[in-house]
Every structure is written in C-alpha cells, then in structure tokens.
Chains A and B, each alone.
Chain A
Amino acid sequence: MTSTERGDWQDGRRDAASLAEVLHVLKGRRLLVVGASLVLAGVALLFGIFREPAYTAEAVVGFAPQQAPDDENARQAFAQEVFSAITSPASFSEGVRAEAGWRGTPEEFGDRLDPKVAVLVDGDMEMRVAFSGREPEGAARVANAYAEAFALEAGRLGEGQLSGGTGIADARVLRRAVASGGSGPPAVLYAAVAAGVGLLLGGGAALSLEGRTGGWRDVRDAEVTLKAPVLGAIPDYSPAENEV
C-alpha cells in the first residue's frame, strides 16, 4: 500500500524516532517481544510453583540496662555487647535448636536465622529475631525458642560480664512469634512481573535489532521510518544488481 498524502510530513526533522515508529518496530518484531515475555513469565511461573515455601516468623525481646548509658552511641554499644555476650557461646544456639526440635544442620539454621538488636527512641532496647522455615509452625517455634532463651540468658548476665559495669534490669519476651499463613508472593505475581520485564527486554532487543538492520521490510515500514509518502514500490528481481 502506498500513500499520496502530502503536507504535514514535510515539517520536522526525521532524526528522532517517534512513538509511531517505535510501535511500528515493536509490531514488526512482535514475535520477539511476545516470545521474550512468555519465556520469562513461564520460567517465573515454574519458579513460583516449585520453589520451596518460606514462612517467616518474628519474635521480639525487650531489655533495659540497670543504669542507662549517657548517650546514644553508648546505648547502642551496650545493646550489641549484650547480644554478643548471650549469643556468642555455641551452647546458646545448640540449646535453641534442641528446644525448638530443629532437625536440620547448624549451618542451615544459621542461614534461616536473622536476629537484630536495636535501641528505641525512649532508650529501651530490643532484640528482634526472625526465622524462615518450610512450615509456619516450625518457624514460629524456633523464633520463640530463640527469644525465650535470649530473655532467660539476659536475666542471668551479671554486672561483671559487661564492660559497662551494669547489668540487665529487665528482659522479657515482648511479642511471641505466631505461625503465619503466607509464604511470599504467589506464583502468578512472579509470572506477571517477569512478563513485564520480558516485554521491556524484548522491546529493547527489537529496537536494537532494528537499529542494526539496514533497509525496509515493506512500504509501510519505509513510510513510518522516513515520515514521507512512498509513491511507489518496485520489486527486486536480482540478488546482485550492478546498480547505478
């Protein structure tokens, strides 16, 4: 199909790709774009379906020094020191694993465990422990065992065991972990995100290929690219012309 429309096409330069040209390129290479999107979506869907479920449970232990340090840095250092003093001995983790009935390896236990200490605005301190397990009940059981053991050991810490010369005034489990029902985003969400990424990657690849490819596929391609009417299209009859 050719065009004989004249007028507006003579305005403006042709060095910048227009939205119409981009859409035309994407349409022309739709197999690449859609294919990339479908492949990524399929891979993500399989990942979502067959991935190992991960249930995360979190418990919180609150504790406070007998004599509060003067400044923020000192409080932060105290909290870290308490945490290290309690959790560094191997017996602590062993005790938690035994209490929670953990059947995996210690290394896997360490990988799934995520404890953090923090100093709150009012000067109180807390230790949050999160544990990711294959089952919600198991994750909550380990998190609670860890929190209870931490609180118990914090209460036993003597003044001489901490460099600040002060002990723990109070340590107790503020919030117990509960078994949650969710194990992360559903597989369909993974697939949707991957499909979007696939569209972007496929579109980028299509535009890149178009930029490297010389020539035009058809009249419509030439009209969109040149932003000028194509009055005629003459077919080629030779693989190698000796042109003027």
Chain B
Amino acid sequence: MGLEAVSGTDARRLLLGPDSPVRSHYEDLAGRLLSLGGIRSLVVTSPEPGAGRTSVCVGLAGAVAGMGRRVGLVDCNLGDPRLHRMLGEPNFVGLTSGLEGDMPLEHYGYEVAPGLLVVPAGPVPPDPVSRLEHEKLVAAVRSLEQGRDLVIVDGPVAGGVLSSPNLSEGFDGVLLVVHASRTPKSLARETIDDLLEAGTNLLGVVLNGCT
C-alpha cells in the first residue's frame, strides 16, 4: 500500500505505528540524522512534487518520537498543505493562525503520538508564498525547539525553499527527499547544486520509494 495513497488512520498506522513495515527504515534515518549533531530544526524539501516529502516528515518524526524524544512537525507547505490530510485531521487552525495570533505555535497543534506535536498549515491565505516571508515565521517555528529535541518543517519544493530566505537560512539544515523512480537524476543534481550554492546547510538526501 502506498504511503501517501492513504490518509488518516491508515497513514498513522503505516508511518507511526510500532508494527509499521517502514518503521525501521525511518529509525535508521532518524539515527543518522541525529548523529550529525547540532541539528535542532530542519526543512524537508524535494526537487519536485510527488517525491514524498510529507510522508518522510511524518515517518521521520514518528521514528524520533519513538526513540523517546520530543518532536515538532510543522506544515510550511502553504501553497499545497498536505500534512493534515495525511493524518486525517482538520486544518482549521495551524501555522498561519500562529503567525497572526499572539499565542505560541504549539497552541495551534496537536499530538498524534506521544512526544510528537503536529502543527498543520492552518487556513491557506490568498498569498501563501509571501506568507512564508512573514517576519515571525522562523521565530514562531523555532520556538517549538523549547522543550523539544527536533523540529521538522514540511516545506515546499526546493524552488520554494530557495526563494524563501526564511526557509533556506532560518533553520539548522535542509533535508532533500528524492523519489527512486520519479525524480529525474538531472533535476536532483541541479537541486543539490542550487541548494549548496544558495548557502543552505544541506544535510543529505532521503531516497524514497526504493524497491
């Protein structure tokens, strides 16, 4: 069953359940990521839509939480938010609500597993791209680092990250998701070059959809 062809309970079971067939793979990813050291927040992006950013975000967050750590997961893909759909949750409030409101961002999220706080995108504004440049965005998201070991940002595609200084420079690193059969090699190479040339701290690549 496809990890993102499902949503709600099925997605939670596949990505967050202790008996998930992909759990060990996400635990490996989490272990390597945490072993890099000094990474408290990271943006997950991909060269193109369809690589599986959101499922990797959820699976990675679940694996880190499963290690007994506290994790925050924020949907910053304001142009096409998917995190709430994958988890089968509403999107009445979320990141955009936190940017406009006075309360800490964690008040607009919910726990989907012990130690795993999810903040959906919230109501999508008419100009989602410009909202990524909100002056409070980085501070609001990074405020989740308080009391948490890792904050994962489900970002837009790499072009959106590169065009947003908040996303490309505001967090500790960038994780690139490529799909084993869908992502063109040339596009993946170009994306890595562009990210590095832009000065982002590219942590590495996640190969999604391996056979």
Contact = CB atoms under 8 A, between A and B. Distances in A.
Interface of A: 2, 4, 6, 10, 13-15, 214-216, 218-219, 222, 225-238, 240-244
A231 B204 contact: yes
Q: 5 tightest A-B contacts by CB? A: A238-B2, A232-B29, A241-B2, A14-B189, A243-B50
Contacts of A233: 25, 206-207, 210
A244 B189 contact: no
B26 to A, nearest CB: 7
B28 interface: yes
A234 B181 CA distance: 12
A242 B35 CA distance: 32
B25 A235 contact: yes
Contacts of A219: 207, 210
A6 B211 CA distance: 26
Listed residue (A219, A229, A243) with the most chain B CB atoms within 10 angstroms of its CB: A243
Interface of B: 1-5, 14, 21-22, 25-26, 28-29, 32-33, 35-36, 49-56, 59-60, 77, 80, 82, 86, 175-176, 178-185, 188-190, 192-193, 196, 202-211
A10 B173 CA distance: 13
Contact of A234 (B49, B56, B193, B196): B56
Nearest to A229: B204
User: DSSP majority for the B interface?
Assistant: mixed
Given A13-B193, A242-B2, A235 B32 contact: no
Contact of B192 (A6, A226, A234, A240): A226
Given A2-B28, A4-B35, A228 B181 contact: no
A234 B209 contact: yes
A2 B33 CA distance: 11
B184 A231 contact: no
B211 A234 contact: no
Nearest to B30: A232
Contacts of A228: 176, 192, 202, 204-205
12 contacts: A6-B204, A214-B185, A215-B181, A215-B183, A230-B206, A232-B60, A233-B207, A235-B209, A237-B21, A237-B22, A238-B1, A241-B3
